Structure 1
Amino acid sequence: MQAEAAPSANSRFATTLIDLLDTVRYRRVNAEQQLDPVYKLRYEAYRREEFIPVNSQQATRDSYDDASNCYCFGVYVDNKLVSSIRFHHVSSENRTSPSRTIWPEVLEPILDRGDSYIDPSRFTADHDASLALPALPYLTLRIVAMASEFFAVRYTISSVRAEHSAFYRRVFGSHRLADERFWGELQFPVCLYAADVPTIRNRVAERFPFFMSTPEEREALFGDDPDLRAVAPSARQAQRLELLERAG
């Protein structure tokens, strides 16, 4: 009898992440709530590194948060806010995009030819949670992966610090588009990377099935009538449905 192959480290990691998702909830932020806990988390994260000055509200927002194509989320583990991220769905019809402001000569031609992209920004995390949960970037960026599928964009771009670029290359197959520049008021340079979504989607889902989701979860998070309560991840259901489709 042939011995069964031991599970790979990658498959064990994927299984662990799907199990961890059972404790995770995603909450879309109502932009009218100027002092939402997500904006306070941003402030605490940036002040910890002294990237921004002190302000009396102890919250960090900017004009991009009020854009019609902005989607902002808090990530909760066991009902505690542990991280946040926002993104803009950028198209030729709606070009509001923090990264486009920094690299217009790179991103404008993409829009001019009719392609669209997701532009994530303001990825911040609770300090203690980031130490306790090494997988926190995956749990948070799952939102971006879902958005890329929901909006059927050509690219997911990333404005990232140089020391974080290896993660985006390894996980999403991102490639560098532009040189380092400074992003908004933050006192550190970032590089521009892009992942070609149609090319990498299936490969990423196969390697990291915790990024998978059902249409119902995506609609609850990004649809015209979003659920502003906490939404449970559906990666386990989505993976089961895909396996059934392959078998049948």
Structure 2
Amino acid sequence: MTTALDSRGPSPLFAAQVDRRFSYFLYVPAEPRHVVVVVHGTQRMAERYRDAYRGFAEEHDCLVVAPLFPAGADEPGDLSGYKRLAFRGTRYDLVLLAMLEEIGVGGRRFHLHGFSGGGQFAHRFALLHAERLASVSIGAPGRITRIDPDTPWWLGTADVLERFGRPVDVDGLRRVPVQMVVGAADTDTREIAEPGLDAGGDTRIDRLRSLRANFEAHGIGVDFAVIPGIGHRGLQVQPEVHRFFAARLRGG
């Protein structure tokens, strides 16, 4: 039987056996010694994100996994269920972990990046599964979850144990290198307005700064990057993400 790791280079789109509504692209280098997971945003450009890591994968011996969580998987028209990890009975964090098991790297810690909607997924995944992460890069999330035991999910973390069956692992996250990255021109608020909520600020820049302050207040270090001349363009921030991951892979 052909498996996802049988061929080198870019893979076709594989259906996840745990739930065939979901799927993933891979890039398999000659020596896949590390694992990088890149989570798409609302537009679901999983293949393009995978392709942005081809050179990086070969240079740094990284298996790249780019999951695809289609819009409307849980209800017609839904765009955002995966961003909050759980929606209509689907646990997206567990789907990703099952994909990694299926691929054959389930026991390994991995480097995680997501941009926009993927940035929402990435920082929430880190709150719950720090022990699985070698590092995490959080790119321009439109909506953030702060560590806050007095405010319910998704704005805070008061009911995480009841919702997910596990607590927020602040101690574990203190040991995970964290990057937060956003473009300096990422100031459009039309898609992320939250009237009446303490969303952490109006723009994605404001909200990411709020998330950094929250993490740092809990002893979690953050490598924070605001990239000049870039708006809400996930592929354009990847060189900065590559820099961050490369330093972690070198042990820096």
TM-score normalised by L of structure 1:
0.32
* Bigger helix fraction: 1
Task: Please identify the structure whose Cα radius of gyration is greater.
Answer: 1
